Amino acid sequence: MLSANGRHRRPRQAPAAVVTVAATGAGLALPLLGAGAGAAHAAEGGTWDKVAICETGGQWNADSQNGFYGGLALTQDAWARYGGLVYAPRPDQASRSQQISVAEKILADLGPDAWPGCELGTGLLDGNGNGNGNSSGGDDSAGNGQGRGSTATPAPGTPADPAAPTDPAAEGD
């Protein structure tokens, strides 16, 4: 590697430390470029911004006074069920990235139909969505269904609340 010393000067070789740093830096950056390639099931940030615009007009701190909170119109139950309580008591009190983190879990579990009326045109159904075609099992616990009424119910054999104990009699012992 040659360093530039001006137009009329004799080129000299760059110090070995500069060459080493340049090669090491490139080696560190390459694995980071491929890190996002395995996350094809996760929606991109721009997709979540579009969902937030559909659900709440893009207001990440929305409290709709009807049981839906945050930019993605999550219910308190969904927020707690999918780990949101580690970030904030309610979705509207969490940051955009924290809401998206919880929404990714909801998307992986329930599919795009968790945001009824907002799955089309936002990217949840195209290549940025989870792509598993899971349209059953949506329980409207995430989205507020402003676009269309959701009558989706959990799939047969799916417990209504996965966090609930399965044997109430054993609970009292």
Is pLDDT of 7 > 80?
A: no
Rg (the chain; Cα; Å)? 24
Per-residue burial over 14-40, b = 16 or more CB atoms within 10 Å of its CB, e = otherwise: eeeeeeeeeeeeeeeeeeeeeeeeeee
Structural fold of domain 43-159: Lysozyme (1.10.530)
pLDDT in tens, 42-94: 566 689 999 999 999 999 999 989 999 999 999 999 999 999 999 999 999 99
Q: Where are the domains of the chain?
A: 43-159
Give the three-class secondary structure for 93: helix
Q: What is the mean pLDDT of the chain?
A: 68
Give residues with Cβ within 8 angstroms of 152, minimum separation 6: 113, 116, 136, 137, 138, 139, 140
pLDDT in tens, 97-111: 999 999 999 999 999
